[in-house]
Amino acid sequence: MTMILVQLIVSGILLGIIYALVSVGLTLIFGVSRVKNFAHGDFVMLGMYGAYVLNTTWDIDPYIGILIVAPVMFAFGWFIARLLIKPIIGAPQVAQIFATLGLGLVLQNIALFVFGADFRSATSVASGHIVRIGGVSLPLASLIASVVALVVILGLYLFLRRSYLGKAMRAVAQDRRAAALMSINVSRIDFLTFGLGAACAGIAGALLVPLMPVYPTVGFNLVLIAFVVVILGGLGSLWGALVGGIAIGLIENLSAFFIGSEMRQVAYFVVFLIVLLVRPAGLFGIKGSEKIGA
């Protein structure tokens, strides 16, 4: 029983790290631009389809495909930010919700038209391989995805802390007006932020496609999990997203084993509501931020 519990915990942590990468782009966009992107799960779906097309058409491994998917999704995110997001920054939340929901529906229907409703999957060099460490068996694909996700999250953190653009993004997140007075191009920072968020979603999609099938509405479940992770960890916090993702991964695995797989979502929503009752701003959020949207 002890080894089974260890297996569940380790598998839950690996799953949670992948959830964290899915959520990092969402929390980054909200933290800087204050836009709640309900199409974020569909960005992940596009990343999954991108890796799938590269794999089935040109036999490019999904992990290598990241090198193509990430810059393409960055450019797509930048374009969407210029076309759709710029007019709604600072607009009422209802406008943001309906604009991004509408974008998600458009992307879903385009995917449905192009690929159909069938479940599709891609294979990688890690597919079917198991790594055994001290009696714990781990799918190699999950292990690789978790390591890459951690590297991306750490790289994004260092970018925000060390680079000039990262500091400019943090300045815009703290005070948009003051940042503009300091000669920071706030609109360009918004475009960059949305591009980075979309790139993170694309990377997450490429990492997920060897682990789960892709279909046009797969983004709905992913964005639901992403919002739970982001709010649980604290809106705008990268490390909060990581901790929140690991927490959700652990809750999913343990509840599926001890209660039943059909109760996984119920279990983490119960924990989510309890945390919000105690800390409305999330685990790593600033007290009071849930009232002012920061």
What's the pLDDT tens digit per position in 45-65? 999 999 999 999 999 999 999
Name the least confident of 53-62, 100-109, 230-239: 230-239
**How many Å apart are CA 190 and CA 79, to the nearest integer?**
11
For the segment 8-19, the average pLDDT, to the nearest whole number, is: 92
**How many Å apart are CA 280 and CA 231, to the nearest integer?**
9
CA quadruple 20, 22, 23, 28: dihedral sign:
positive
Q: DSSP letter at 212?
A: S
**How many Å apart are CA 259 and CA 242, to the nearest integer?**
25
Instruction: Specify the pLDDT at position 63.
Output: 95
Instruction: Specify the pLDDT at position 288.
Output: 46
What confidence tier does 287 reach under pLDDT thresholds 50, 70, 90?
Answer: low
Candidates 99, 81, 93, 103; CA nearest to 187 is: 81
For the segment 31-57, the average pLDDT, to the nearest whole number, is: 94
Q: Own/partner pairs for 105-108, CB < 8 Å, 24+ apart?
A: 107/39, 107/42, 107/43, 107/45, 107/46, 107/219, 108/42, 108/45, 108/216, 108/217, 108/219
**How many Å apart are CA 130 and CA 150, to the nearest integer?**
20
What ranges do the domains of the chain cover?
2-292
**How many Å apart are CA 142 and CA 18, to the nearest integer?**
8
Q: Which CATH class is domain 2-292?
A: mainly alpha
Instruction: Specify the pLDDT at position 1.
Output: 66
**How many Å apart are CA 219 and CA 241, to the nearest integer?**
18
Looking at every residue in the chain, the average pLDDT score rounds to 90
Q: Is the pLDDT of residue 257 over 70?
A: yes
**How many Å apart are CA 243 and CA 29, to the nearest integer?**
18
Question: Element (H or E) spanning 132, and its range?
Answer: strand 130-133
Instruction: Specify the pLDDT at position 68.
Output: 97
Q: Are 65 and 205 in contact (CB under 8 A)?
A: no
For the segment 177-182, the average pLDDT, to the nearest whole number, is: 91
For the segment 11-28, the average pLDDT, to the nearest whole number, is: 93
Name the least confident of 83-92, 117-126, 196-205: 83-92
Instruction: Specify the pLDDT at position 42.
Output: 97
Question: 36 is written with which tokens?
Answer: 């709640």
Higher pLDDT, 231 or 198: 198
Q: Are 66 and 74 in contact (CB under 8 A)?
A: no
- Residue 137 burial (CB count, 10 A): 12
CA angle 29, 31, 109 (to 5 degrees): 25
What confidence tier does 283 reach under pLDDT thresholds 50, 70, 90?
Answer: confident
What confidence tier does 231 reach under pLDDT thresholds 50, 70, 90?
Answer: confident
Amino acid at 99: A
Q: Is the pLDDT of residue 286 over 80?
A: no
Higher pLDDT, 283 or 267: 267
* Rama region for 59: left / alpha / beta (φ>0; ψ in -120 to 50; rest): left
Q: Is the pLDDT of residue 294 over 80?
A: no
Instruction: Specify the pLDDT at position 292.
Output: 40
Q: How far is CA 273 from CA 20, 81, 280, in A?
A: 19, 32, 9
Residue 131, classed as helix, strand or coil, is strand
